[in-house]
Amino acid sequence: MKRLLAALALLLSPLLAAPAVEAAPYAVDPGKTCDGWPRLPIETAPGTCAGLVLTPPEGRGLSIRTLRLPRTLVQLKSGDWIVVDLGGWDPGKGSVWRLRATPGKTPELTPLLRKLTMPHGLGVGPDGRLYVGEMSRIFRFDPEAPDPAATVEVVVDGLPDNRLHANRHPLSNFVFDGDGSLIVNVGAPSDQCAPKGRPAGPRCAEREGPDAQASVRRYRYLGEGRWDPKFETLARGLRNSLALARHPSGALLQAENSYDFAPKADTPFEELNLLVRGKDYGWPYCYDLTAVTPAWKGRSPLDCASAAHAKPASLLPPHAAPLGALIYDGAMLPQLKGRLLLSYHGYRAAGGRVVALELDDKGAPVVKAGARYPEYGVDGKVVWKRYPAPAAEPLVLTPGWNAVAGIRPLGAPVGLAQAADGSIWIADDRNGHVIRLAADRP
């Protein structure tokens, strides 16, 4: 029994390290607004402000929330929003909701789909219908139908079910390529592919072969709402690719959630990758630019310093945990035009923020020597640290989102969506909020 309990503790340790989920309230001054919405005490980039769209009832835990863990969202042509609720890390806890929100009125939430298993991904397909990624499948549905649940059609099935593994990455995200093909994340089922702290063989079986995990797959669009069930492994060696975006040039960007090992607080860095067909991005053998992961040191089958290891287009802050990506093209915030927005979900020193990175006309991040990134202390102090290589320097859109007792919780942004008016809507799962970033006007 003692051995069983110890094994369970090891399995759960990555989850228990995160702060407990609480419905931490904001101190909202009813006399202050942000573009018509209640103004939140979040310090934002010049010319912007944060408005409150939806907040859970005051109290602790998930049981009192309607939306338990809002992850992604998209706006309908009507102006209403569809919100995907992860619900929890057990089967059947997830759901999809319709949100009607107008300044000065109580938000209305209507359930559309229930009893989903770890839903996360959300997007509009080439047919104009809504697509949702669950743990092991992607389906579409019609939110305008009298019974949306009756319209559910599975379009991709058989994604790996790895929810019971330590360091699991079971969530599905996707983007549509220019020809309608589905570009799909398949996360790694472990941290370094090293059970008991050492590799089980000369190579990591989890990332090999035609059914490789820790990869991004491409399901070819066949037309008429159909995708080829025989996928192509577009790129491999990617630990967790929840943050995906397609640039107008056709470039595919992926923000990598890197390893959990922590020889010191400043390693390993997260990555921003440009996905190129057939390339190997190094998991579980490599990290940062050329370093070998501890478990594979002296036995890595991939030379991390060689061209066989596709290097990141830019490093990102360590343990930032990028989960959402959006290329902004709205009119409300012209200073963000063409930039890549990333949500940093991590609760460590560099996380809990939304940032914007400059891209060139081919979709590559604009890097510079001596680039820096900010880390935030619990006292609100900011320390800018240098990257060890040329990297993209961020415009931090929510610099003041650290926890302040009685004022605000630590931000936990996930989904980013651009509204028709050019505002940016943010799903904060840990705190149960939907937030609107907009031009700073009453």
Domain ranges of the chain: 2-439
Token pair for 281: 């991005």
* CA-wise closest residue to 140 among 182, 81, 177: 182
Q: Over pLDDT 70: what percentage of the chain?
A: 92
Cβ pair 271, 371 in contact under 8 A: no
DSSP string computed for 49-100: EEEEEE-PPSEESSTT-SSSSEEEEEE-TTS-EEEEE---SSTT-EEEEEEE
Looking at residue 60, its pLDDT comes to 58
Q: pTM for the full model?
A: 0.93
Helix (H, G, I), strand (E, B) or coil at 186: strand
d(CA 340, CA 323): 13
Tokens 């990257």 correspond to: 387
pLDDT score recorded for residue 291? 97
Question: What pLDDT score was predicted for residue 12?
Answer: 36
Tell me which residues of the chain have a pLDDT lower than 50.
Answer: 1-20, 164-166
Q: What is the DSSP letter of 408?
A: B
CA dihedral of 273, 278, 283, 286, whole degrees rounded to 10: -80
pLDDT of 2: 37
Structure tokens at 228: 């080829």
Residues paired with residue 286 on neighbouring β-strands, in sequence order: 292
pLDDT, position 57: 81
End-to-end CA separation in angstroms for the chain: 61
Q: Do residues 315 and 270 lie in contact, with contact meaning Cβ atoms separated by under 8 Å?
A: yes
Q: In this predicted structure, what is the pLDDT of residue 254?
A: 98
- pLDDT, position 194: 93
Q: Is residue 282 a contact partner of residue 310, using CB atoms and an 8 Å limit?
A: yes
Residue 39 φ then ψ, to 5°: -80, 130
Separation CA 64–CA 58 (nearest Å): 9
Q: Which residues contact 99 (CB under 8 A, 6 or more apart)?
A: 53, 54, 73, 80, 81, 82, 83, 107, 108, 109, 434
Domain 2-439: assigned CATH number = 2.120.10.30
Instruction: Output the pLDDT for position 6.
Output: 37
Q: Which of 436, 440, 411, 413 is nearest to 424 (CA)?
A: 436
Contacts 24+ apart (CB under 8 A), 363-368: 363/247, 363/248, 363/249, 363/250, 363/251, 363/253, 363/274, 364/251, 364/274, 364/313, 365/272, 365/313, 365/314, 365/340, 365/391, 365/392, 366/392, 367/313, 367/314, 367/391, 367/392, 368/392, 368/393
